[in-house]
């Protein structure tokens, strides 16, 4: 049984919470382990490593004296280093029973404290890179020649004469593998296209649907399509009674509706059903940076045939993974800035409820989608923790930068004030995000 079947056979709400807890626990555990292991390498002892908060469910003490525990409230975790007053790594006035001061967070050199604090977000980025690299290694890359490996199941009206092993040279005279590929969308919409192929060493022409049929390859969580119960492998055959043969016609039909409710004829598992949905205005990221507000329903498409692939080398996989990491960081920072200056909607700020729903939605699309989602959330949590807000890792790094420049630590009174401000900011942001999830941007 795959994840989608499991989600369907059990209560959606229960499974959504479960997948959210799994994702959050993995991400937090990796984040905190980054703090722990670098702290240990830097000679700082850890008293507690906890996954979750509240009463302890399971625990053990290792030979170094660190208590590893799983707590009852699974929404987070922490490392309490020797010398910390609490899990926020706030130094205590005194250190009792922690060994030499050098082994405590309070007495460690500045460089050791800074590395230990920075290691948490960096661990999140490393987790994301390994997830992305694993995806590229498993997925592979298309071969230099466009060869059909298999085809997705499609309804009547989308018949294809292509066979597995066919090498596609042209579609209506256009080479999909060249810079001409995007121009296929500029051709008049037609139910069928002419494919020039090589089969058994002979060049022939066969008929088939547009390469980009109106089949749903993926769904965005909390999108109009997701809320309307569209599913992966659904084929949209008509919008408001008008037949649809290409994925581009979905975009045109959505825009033609002007944002009003539209009716979709959807082919699913051999039957045609009707679904109604209302497209939403979404701040859509552009490939070269920036955002564009468009009417979208939140679906993506792909070729109706599955091209053959070849393995990707480890170096290439990690190179692409770092590229995806940088893209995610850049997109997040640009999005935050656009929210601040009013360039895009504050609805782009999601809280735990939206993230939990997204966890369940991505899990229902399969293990690959869910694991990639975990990678993206790991990037977001790592980046968020680097913000220069007291209580967060970035706030601690700002204090350490002050200490390096001024030659002394901030006073305890200043730290308490800044920590209170940071806690208030985080609390206000969390309340706003939850309001977005429940009321403002449901």
Give the catalytic positions in this structure.
32
Asked whether 63 and 45 are in contact (CB, 8 A), the reply is: no
- Apex CA 12: angle with CA 8 and CA 14, to 5°? 125
Residues 6 or more apart whose Cβ sits within 8 Å of residue 353: 434, 437, 438
| Alpha helices, H only, 258-392 | 314-341, 352-364, 367-385
Query: Which tokens is 262 given?
Result: 């539209």
Asked whether 247 and 214 are in contact (CB, 8 A), the reply is: yes
C-alpha separations of 170 from 194, 209, 303 in Å? 8, 13, 14
- DSSP H or E run through 238: strand 235-239
Query: Which tokens is 164 given?
Result: 């597995």
Q: How would you class 352 by CB atoms within 10 Å of its CB: exposed for 0-12, middle for 13-18, buried for 19 or more?
A: middle
Determine how β-strand 193-199 pairs with β-strand 46-61: unpaired
| Calculated CA dihedral for residues 275, 280, 286, 290, nearest 10 degrees | -170
CA-to-CA distance for 81 and 53, rounded, in angstroms?
Answer: 16
C-alpha separations of 404 from 81, 110, 377, 387, 395 in Å? 22, 8, 32, 19, 14
CA-to-CA distance for 136 and 413, rounded, in angstroms?
Answer: 50
């Amino acid at each position: 049984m795959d994840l989608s079947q499991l989600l369907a056979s059990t209560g959606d709400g229960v499974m959504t919470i479960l997948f959210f807890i799994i994702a959050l626990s993995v991400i937090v555990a990796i984040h905190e382990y980054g703090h722990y292991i670098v702290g240990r390498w830097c000679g700082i002892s850890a008293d507690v490593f906890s996954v979750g908060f509240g009463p302890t469910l399971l625990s053990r003490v290792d030979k170094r004296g660190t208590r590893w525990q799983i707590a009852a409230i699974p929404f987070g975790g922490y490392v309490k280093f020797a010398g910390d007053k609490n899990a926020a790594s706030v130094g205590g006035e005194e250190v009792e029973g922690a060994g030499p001061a050098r082994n405590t967070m309070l007495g460690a050199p500045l460089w050791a404290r800074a590395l230990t604090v920075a290691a948490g977000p960096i661990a999140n980025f490393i987790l994301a890179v390994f997830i992305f690299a694993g995806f590229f290694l498993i997925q592979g890359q298309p071969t230099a020649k466009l060869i059909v490996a298999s085809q997705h199941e499609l309804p009547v009206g989308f018949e294809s004469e292509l066979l597995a092993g066919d090498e596609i040279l042209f579609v209506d005279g256009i080479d999909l593998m060249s810079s001409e590929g995007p121009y296929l969308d500029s051709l008049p919409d037609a139910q069928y296209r002419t494919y020039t192929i090589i089969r058994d060493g002979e060049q022939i022409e066969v008929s088939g649907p547009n390469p980009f049929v109106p089949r749903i390859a993926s769904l965005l969580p909390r999108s109009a399509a997701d809320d309307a119960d569209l599913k992966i492998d659904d084929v949209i055959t008509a919008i408001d009674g008008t037949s649809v043969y290409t994925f581009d016609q979905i975009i045109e039909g959505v825009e033609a509706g002007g944002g009003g409710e539209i009716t979709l004829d959807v082919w699913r598992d051999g039957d045609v059903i009707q679904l109604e949905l209302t497209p939403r205005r979404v701040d859509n990221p552009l490939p070269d940076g920036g955002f564009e507000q468009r009417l979208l329903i939140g679906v993506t498409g792909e070729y109706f045939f599955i091209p053959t692939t070849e393995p990707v080398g480890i170096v290439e996989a990690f190179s692409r993974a770092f590229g995806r990491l940088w893209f995610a960081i850049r997109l997040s920072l640009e999005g935050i800035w656009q929210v601040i200056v009013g360039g895009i909607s504050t609805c782009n700020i999601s809280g735990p409820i939206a993230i939990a729903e997204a966890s369940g939605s991505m899990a229902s699309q399969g293990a690959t989608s869910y694991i990639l989602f975990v990678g993206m959330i790991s990037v977001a949590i790592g980046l968020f923790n680097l913000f220069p807000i007291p209580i967060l890792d970035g706030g601690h790094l700002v204090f350490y930068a002050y200490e390096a420049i001024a030659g002394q630590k901030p006073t305890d009174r200043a730290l308490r004030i800044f920590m209170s401000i940071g806690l208030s900011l985080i609390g206000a942001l969390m309340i706003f995000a939850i309001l977005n999830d429940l009321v403002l941007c449901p």
